[in-house]
């Protein structure tokens, strides 16, 4: 079998890719750390409010829930191409690895755009001299109907009543 190491292809170690400009920024590891900083609190609140506004969940009593799926907050700095700080991103993600196939779910789906689609759009933009702009999506939601009932623990740091 042909492997990367046999072809002298090595993945760069990410710790060597850091620049001195990015070193002072430390991302919070917990929601408690994030809520202690006003900027991170604003970012996490925006994510939580977007989830509520999109009716992502219905709050039910804990007694109804069986096989609760946990969740976790992910915090990341986003940078401009020149290395300066662009924004702070907070995401609430479900710990899907607690789910059991055939019981909690029957299939998985992850919507992605394919490379040929991107090439087609870029080709059309070049041919017709369309202007191109980068778009940063704050919250993207898959508008689908779940056939299974999934119960998730309320996000730590926030409570919807």
Q: What is the mean pLDDT of residues 61-77?
A: 84
Q: Is the pLDDT of residue 148 over 60?
A: yes
pLDDT of residue 69: 83
Query: Which of residues 85 and 123 earns the better pLDDT score?
Result: 123
Gap between the Cα atoms of 66 and 153, Å rounded: 11
pLDDT of residue 23: 46
Q: Is the pLDDT of residue 9 over 50?
A: yes
Q: Is the pLDDT of residue 14 over 70?
A: no
pLDDT in tens, 99-136: 666 766 666 666 667 888 889 989 999 999 999 887 66
Task: Give residue limits of the domains in the chain.
Answer: 12-105
Gap between the Cα atoms of 33 and 27, Å rounded: 9
Q: Is pTM, for the whole model, over 0.75?
A: no
pLDDT in tens, 27-44: 899 899 999 999 999 999
pLDDT of residue 22: 47
Gap between the Cα atoms of 29 and 48, Å rounded: 17
Gap between the Cα atoms of 29 and 98, Å rounded: 21
């Amino acid at each position: 079998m042909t492997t990367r190491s046999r072809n002298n292809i090595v993945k760069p170690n990410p710790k060597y890719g850091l620049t001195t400009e990015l070193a002072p920024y430390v991302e919070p590891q917990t929601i408690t750390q994030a809520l202690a900083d006003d900027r991170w609190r604003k970012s996490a609140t925006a994510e939580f409010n977007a989830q509520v506004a999109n009716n992502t969940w219905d709050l039910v009593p804990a007694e109804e829930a069986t096989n609760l799926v946990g969740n976790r907050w992910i915090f990341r700095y986003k940078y401009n191409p020149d290395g300066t700080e662009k924004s702070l991103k907070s995401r609430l993600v479900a710990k899907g690895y607690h789910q059991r196939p055939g019981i909690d779910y029957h299939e998985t789906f992850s919507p992605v755009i394919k490379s040929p689609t991107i090439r087609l759009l870029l080709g059309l933009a070049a041919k017709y001299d369309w202007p191109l702009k980068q778009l940063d999506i704050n919250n993207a939601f898959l508008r689908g109907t779940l056939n299974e009932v999934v119960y998730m623990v309320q996000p730590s740091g926030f409570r919807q009543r």
